[in-house]
Chain A
Amino acid sequence: MPARRPDLPSLAAGLAVIVIALLMLLDERGSIELSFAVFAPVACAAIGAVLLAAGLSRR
């Protein structure tokens, strides 16, 4: 039986959300200093990854 392909948009969104949540936790703990200079590219990359995955999944 062929393995089922994962749903790319869900996978990308899930990983992106987890990464952002981990950044928030590390910032809250004081391990990193989360600033806009760090967060803005991460947020853009997360949204871009989801849109890219959604586009690829249509092919």
Chain B
Amino acid sequence: METNQPRKLFRSHQDRVIGGVAGGLGRYFDLDPILFRIGFVALAFLGGAGILLYLAGLLLIPNEEGTSGQPAPAANRSVLAVIGIVVLLIVAWPILIGGGVFVAAVLVPLSVLAIAGVLVWWLVSGEGPSGEPRDIAVRAAFGIGVLVLSAALGVGGAIAAAAGGSTAVAVILIVAGLALVGGAFLKPVRWLILPALLLAVSAGGVSAAGVSTDGGVGDRYYRPASASDLRDRYELGVGELEIDLRDVDLPPGDTPLEVDLGVGDLRMTVPKDVCVASKVDIGAGQSIVLGRRNEGVDVKYEEHPDAPPSASRLLLDVEVGLGSLQVRDTDEAFFDDHGFDGRDERDPDDNAACRGGTRAG
């Protein structure tokens, strides 16, 4: 028997990736839900409209489970209608009267945070975003709280690892890991998953990059007046380190110089009549040594040109955890006030001192 009852739009319980919005729309319009999913993702890149529309659907479209053919209470419907109008106005705002910057700077990050909260809740509890809008909002808030605390723990762990506490952090991680494994068989402690993972990834990343806070935090500028003022080693934990050797008259032969920077930018200026041999190790970042650029992760660069016996050769041994290294010679505009001036390729005259001459100015 054919019924004349109008079709109702519900969030699908069977066909859902996040909240069943696309699944419900697909069933309502008798279309493949993947089309709606592609649409949401595509719109997400257009000022974040896809994210906001999906959130609107999550709040406005009732869940298939809790309906049972009964209409929502009138009070709930009024609240949902107000929320829906507000969300639709927000979505339409940049189109109607401008304000795309507001959407991009405020609403999109908030939407991403809300979705992250729901996903964290899903990871912690195993429950998707079903139920009443109020329940979803509460779960999202709980998820955001867990996320913020986990991020704080991750940052703390990274700092501890950089300060030489890698072993202690590793021991804490093993204890947390054993608690998770044991809990998996006895009583799951899923709330521990995200903090433990973030701590492991951040502290492990710091260890892998070789970041160390030895040498302190801040900006340092060194300009030794003579070779006797030149130290064997310069070190900084976090910050900007600049070593200016333009006043140093290096003696003939090799002069070793070791520089260690945890996180930040390292800039060095060397006299143009000095041959530069370099050994560079950067965890992640960029190195520009006399015009030769290397960048990425695990940047290792080594060049040991021979120099005439009468020439001065500077043996640079540089380690940077995360950041950049720039080595230029005097009187050359390798860099402007805002960084590298764009000369990527090595100039044939660079490091000419290694061949018995001086570099062109």
Chain A residues with CB under 8 Å of chain B are 4, 6-11, 13-18, 20-25, 27-28, 34-40, 42-43, 46-47, 50-51, 54, 57-58
| B183 interface residue per 8 A CB criterion | yes
Contact A14 B177 (CB under 8 A): yes
A11 with B205, Cβ < 8 A, contacts A35-B298, A57-B126, A58-B126 known: no
The yes or no answer to B100 lying at the interface (CB within 8 A) is no
**Which of B183, B205, B207, B209 is within 8 Å of A10, CB to CB?**
B183
Chain B interface mostly helix, strand, loop or mixed?
Answer: helix
Closest to B202 in A: A43
B44 within 8 A of A: no
Question: Which residue of chain B has the shortest Cβ distance to A25 in the bound complex?
Answer: B170
Which residues of the partner chain A approach B201 to less than 8 Å between Cβ atoms?
A: 20, 43, 46-47
How many of B's residues come within 8 Å of A, CB to CB?
Answer: 41
In the complex, what distance in Å separates the CA atom of A27 from the CA atom of B206?
Answer: 12
Report the minimal beta-carbon distance from B207 to chain A, rounded to whole angstroms: 5
Contact, CB under 8 Å: B189 / A17 = no
B184 touches A10 (CB 8 A): yes
Chain A residues with CB below 8 A from B205, complex form: 36, 39, 43
Pick the most buried of A15, A24, A35, A42: most chain B CB atoms within 10 A of its CB.
A24
Interface flags, B190-234, vs A, CB<8A=1, else 0:
101100110011011101110000000000000000000000000
A16 to chain B, nearest CB (A): 7
Judging by beta carbons under 8 Å apart, are B122 and A17 in contact? no
Taking a contact as CB atoms under 8 Å apart, the answer to whether B180 and A17 are in contact is: yes
A20–B271 Cα distance when bound, in Å, is: 44
| 6 contacting pairs across A/B (C-beta < 8 A) | A7-B184, A10-B183, A13-B192, A21-B177, A35-B208, A43-B201
Q: Mark B263-288, 1 if CB is under 8 A from A, else 0.
A: 00000000000000000000110000
User: Chain A contacts of B170 at CB under 8 A?
Assistant: 21-22, 24-25, 28
Does B185 sit at the interface, judged by CB under 8 A? yes
Judge whether B122 and A46 touch: CB under 8 Å.
Answer: no
Verify B178–A38 contact, CB threshold 8 A: no
Say yes or no: is B18 at the interface (Cβ < 8 Å to chain A). Answer: no
| Interface residue from B128, B184, B207 paired with A14 (Cβ < 8 Å) | B184
Q: Which residues of A contact B111 (CB under 8 A)?
A: none
* B residues less than 8 Å from A22 (CB atoms): 170, 174
What separation, in Å, do the CA atoms of A40 and B298 have in the docked complex?
11
Residue from A10, A34, A35 within 8 A of B193 (CB atoms): A10
Q: B179 to chain A: which residues have CB within 8 Å? A: 14
Q: What residues of chain A lie closer than 8 Å to B208, measured between beta carbons? A: 27, 34-36, 38-40
The one of A10, A18, A23, A36 in contact with B188, judged by C-beta atoms closer than 8 angstroms, is A10
Q: Which residues of B contact A36 (CB under 8 A)?
A: 205, 208-209, 283-284, 297-298
